[in-house]
């Protein structure tokens, strides 16, 4: 074991080249560095501390075990102004309390109740399409998940207020995820940049200055306008909810607005707003990017998509009813998503900034360094997934008896892990499986990806890896809403 704290190998190219390579082709760069430097290496970007990326399961296990006091969440390099008390940036007790506040919203019994709504929204979208319509899959699915978000956060399903929320949320998320935001944050440091944005937002909110929501000379102006406008809607709703104090309401905003601290006080309005912003953005680009890759696999492997449809239809016929929750939990549907998240994960890694020198595997890593499990490279390890690790094979997730197979937390981690694991994982998996099981049941698509094998070039959007030029798809068939429920169907 090393006694003196030191960094694992650093690539020979300079900091700018490292940052650029990650931005324009992150997976190729990971493959290249793995070959050159092994499982564990240190990337050094301009203006920030060193980052140790590892695909060594032993090191990942140690990272997953890190305690709250060992890491500094405020250093997470996301340039989104969610408020510094948001759980993503909070530390120690504040982080623990913020998770306790939010996690009940994703409890199993609550998610079960949301399954019918998720299927209904997906089917409303499908019913609005015609054969020949063309979409960009990540944006299309982002639109569906945004409707689901309006329903879960605000219990809004249609009408002017829902449209206004949806429009503002989408626009703010796009601004927050924009390349210019990430670039500015990388120049001045993400924490400083977030605090600057938050100051602007608080000042403008106090003055009641909504702005026109248009681009201006200052690159952050539109994002601040949109946040002030959106927060104004939220403040109105929080006050209405508190005035009604209706315990039967189960949507997230109502739950947060009615929550009291141990002394019986309602949470600060800005705290409620801050957590809502986190939940709004946490699930958007992540779900869009994840399903973009899944859609490409389904287009490249029509036999897999058909098998998914056959499984869903056979199950509906066997049950005599269509329960979206149960169909979304079917082994093959689950396996298709797992396999896509394994081989083409949207999050390249997850980050822990160490406060002090810390033993991670055989390395004593210096304090002030970030350690990141490399999700992409770990998910492709042959010593975990076998000689066919680079192939898309949903069957690897199914046991000999037809049950679901799982891998260990340090082997499969598309949602991170440990004390800061994704809080929305249950909701995300459920909604993606419902969307795809409904697509498989009712819709056929074609695309330039049909008949291809390799994956397209990628780019980073809001920290997520997405196909560089999107995933254009054209609808070639739409089956009836009750397809599969009829006594017998001849699978198309
Ligand atoms: C496919 C969809 C999603 C993916 C791939 C994803 C991935 C991740 C990852 C990798 C992390 C970092 C975990 C870590 O550091 O260990 C994370 C954190 C987080 N995610 Fe997700 N996520 C998804 C959907 C969602 C949804 C739907 C929500 C909320 C509705 C959400 C809310 C959050 C929050 C609040 C955190 C921060 C947790 C903390 O710092 O304690 N995510 N997510």
pLDDT at site 24: 84
Q: Residue 152: what pLDDT?
A: 97
The C-alpha atoms of residue 229 and residue 172 are separated, in whole angstroms, by 10
Average the pLDDT over 440-450 and give the result: 97
Helices (H) and strands (E) in the chain, counts: 18, 11
Indicate which residue's Cα is closest to atom 43 of ligand 1.
422
Q: Is 100 within 8 Å of 78 (Cβ atoms)? A: no
Residue 306 Cα to ligand 1 midpoint, Å, equals 30
Mean pLDDT score of the chain, rounded to an integer?
94
CA dihedral 234, 237, 239, 245 (to 10 degrees): -130
Residue 410 beta carbon below 6 angstroms from any ligand 1 atom: no
> Where does the pLDDT of residue 34 fall: very low under 50, low under 70, confident under 90, or very high at 90 and above?
very high
CA distances, 18 to each of 6, 135, 328, 437 (Å): 20, 34, 40, 40
- Asked if residue 282 has its Cβ within 6 Å of ligand 1, the reply is yes
Q: Is 290 in the pocket of ligand 1 (CB under 6 A)?
A: yes
- Beta strands 458-461; 464-467: pairing state: antiparallel
Sign of the alpha-carbon torsion through 423, 425, 430, 436: positive
Q: What pLDDT, on a 0 to 100 scale, did the predictor assign at position 487?
A: 54
Atom from ligand 1 closest to the CA of residue 291: 1
The values of phi and psi at residue 465, to 5°, are: -90, 120
pLDDT digits (tens, 9 = 90+) for 193-223: 999 999 999 999 999 999 999 999 999 999 9
Residue 414 CB–ligand 1 contact under 6 Å:
yes
Of 45-49, 51-55, 209-213, least confident by mean pLDDT is 45-49
Is the pLDDT score of 364 beyond 60? yes
373 lines ligand 1 (CB under 6 A): no
Q: Where are the alpha helices (DSSP H) in 245-347?
A: 252-258, 269-282, 284-300, 302-319, 324-328, 331-343
Q: Is the CB of 417 under 6 A from ligand 1?
A: yes
- Tens of pLDDT, residue by residue over 72-127, are 999 998 999 998 889 999 999 999 999 999 999 999 999 999 999 999 999 999 99
Expressed in angstroms and rounded, the spacing between residue 226 Cα and the centre of ligand 1 is 23
Whether the pLDDT of residue 332 is over 90: the answer is yes
Range 381-391 average pLDDT:
98
Instruction: Please count the other Cβ atoms lying within 10 Å of the Cβ belonging to residue 282.
Output: 22
Tell me if 75 sits within 8 A of 191, measured CB to CB: yes
CB 319 within 8 A of CB 312: no
| Residues 124-136 pLDDT 10s | 999 999 999 999 9
The pLDDT assigned to 491 comes to 44
Question: What distance in Å separates the CA atoms of residue 222 and residue 208, rounded to the nearest whole number?
Answer: 16
Q: Which residues are registered as beta bridge partners of 473?
A: 135
Residue 249 · residue 155 · CB < 8 Å: yes
Asked whether the predicted pLDDT for residue 434 surpasses 70, the reply is yes
114 lines ligand 1 (CB under 6 A): no
Q: Which pLDDT band holds residue 326 (cuts at 50, 70, 90)?
A: very high
Name residues whose C-beta falls within 8 Å of residue 233's C-beta, 6 or more positions apart in sequence.
161, 164, 165, 168
- pLDDT score for 100: 94
Per-residue pLDDT, averaged over 262-282, amounts to 94
pLDDT tens, residue by residue, 454-489: 999 999 988 899 999 999 999 999 999 999 987 555
How does DSSP assign 87-153, residue by residue? TTT--HHHHHHHHHHHGGGG-HHHHHHHHHHHHHHHHHHHHT--TT-EEEHHHHHHHHHHHHHHHHH
Q: What does the chain come to in residues?
A: 492
Residues 6+ apart with CB under 8 A from 206: none
Nearest one of 120, 172, 181, 179 to 151, comparing CA atoms: 120
- Residue 429: the pLDDT is 97
Tens of pLDDT, residues 164-195: 999 999 999 999 999 898 888 887 888 999 99
Substitution site in 92, 282, 340 for ligand 1 pocket (most atoms within 8 Å of beta carbon): 282
pLDDT band at 492 (very low <50, low <70, confident <90, very high): very low
- Reply yes or no on whether the pLDDT at 45 is more than 90: no
Residue 450 has pLDDT above 60, yes or no: yes
**Alpha carbon distance 55, 72 (integer Å):** 22
Nearest to 236 by CA among 211, 278, 261, 208: 208
Average pLDDT over residues 283-306: 97
pLDDT number for residue 186:
80
CA nearest ligand 1 atom 25, residue: 283
| pLDDT at site 342 | 98
Does the beta carbon of 150 sit less than 6 angstroms from any atom of ligand 1?
no
Distance CA 313, CA 437 (A): 10
Q: Report the relative pairing of strands 40-43 and 51-54 from DSSP bridges.
A: antiparallel
Q: What is the CA radius of gyration of the chain?
A: 23
Q: Is the CB of 99 under 6 A from ligand 1?
A: yes
314 Cα to the center of ligand 1, angstroms: 33
Q: Is the CB of 421 under 6 A from ligand 1?
A: yes
Higher-pLDDT residue of 486, 387: 387
Task: Provide the Cα torsion 384, 386, 388, 393; round to 10°.
Answer: -70
Helix axes 92-102, 269-282, angle to 10 degrees: 70
- Residue of 72, 114, 424, 436 to mutate, ligand 1, most atoms within 8 A of C-beta: 424
């Amino acid at each position: 074991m090393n006694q003196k704290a030191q960094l694992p190998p650093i690539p020979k190219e300079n900091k700018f080249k490292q940052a650029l390579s990650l931005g324009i082709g992150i997976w190729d760069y990971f493959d290249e560095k793995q070959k050159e430097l092994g499982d564990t290496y240190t990337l050094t970007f301009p203006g920030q501390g060193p980052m140790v990326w590892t695909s060594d399961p032993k090191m990942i296990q140690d990272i997953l075990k890190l305690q709250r006091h060992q890491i500094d969440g405020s250093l997470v390099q996301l340039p989104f102004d969610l408020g510094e008390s948001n759980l993503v940036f909070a530390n120690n007790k504040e982080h623990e309390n913020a998770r306790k506040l939010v996690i009940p919203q994703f409890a199993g019994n609550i998610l079960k109740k949301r399954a019918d709504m998720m299927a209904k929204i997906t089917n409303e979208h499908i019913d609005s399409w015609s054969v020949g319509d063309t979409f960009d899959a990540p944006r299309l699915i982002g639109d569906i998940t945004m409707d689901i978000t309006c329903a879960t956060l605000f219990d809004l399903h249609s009408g002017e207020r829902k449209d206004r929320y949806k429009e503002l949320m989408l626009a703010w998320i796009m601004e927050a995820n924009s390349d210019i935001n990430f670039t500015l944050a990388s120049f001045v440091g993400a924490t400083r940049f977030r605090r600057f944005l938050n100051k602007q937002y608080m000042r403008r909110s106090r003055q009641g200055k909504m702005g026109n929501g248009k681009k201006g000379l200052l690159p952050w102006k539109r994002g601040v306008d949109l946040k002030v406008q959106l927060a104004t809607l939220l403040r109105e709703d929080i006050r209405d909810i508190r005035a009604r104090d209706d315990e039967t309401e189960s949507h997230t905003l109502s739950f947060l607005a009615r929550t009291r601290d141990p002394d019986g006080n309602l949470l600060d309005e800005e705290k409620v707003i801050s957590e809502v912003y986190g939940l709004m953005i946490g699930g958007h680009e992540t779900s869009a990017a994840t399903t973009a890759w899944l859609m490409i696999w389904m287009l490249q492997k029509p036999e897999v998509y058909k098998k998914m449809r056959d499984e869903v239809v056979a199950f509906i016929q066997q049950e005599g009813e269509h329960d979206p929750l149960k169909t979304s939990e079917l082994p093959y549907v689950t396996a298709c998503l797992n396999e896509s998240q394994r081989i083409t994960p949207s999050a390249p890694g997850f980050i822990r900034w160490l406060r002090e020198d810390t033993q991670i595997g055989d390395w004593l890593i210096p304090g002030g360094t970030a350690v990141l499990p490399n999700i992409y490279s770990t998910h492709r390890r042959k010593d975990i997934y076998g000689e066919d690790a680079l192939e898309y094979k949903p069957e690897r997730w199914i046991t000999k008896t037809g049950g679901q197979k799982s891998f260990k937390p340090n082997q499969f981690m598309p949602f991170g892990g440990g004390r800061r694991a994704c809080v929305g994982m249950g909701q995300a998996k459920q909604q993606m499986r419902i969307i795809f099981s409904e697509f498989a049941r009712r819709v056929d698509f074609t695309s330039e990806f049909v008949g291809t094998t390799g994956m397209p070039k990628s780019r980073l959007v809001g920290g997520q890896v997405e196909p560089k030029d999107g995933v254009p798809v054209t609808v070639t068939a739409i089956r009836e809403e009750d397809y599969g429920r009829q006594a017998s169907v001849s699978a198309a």
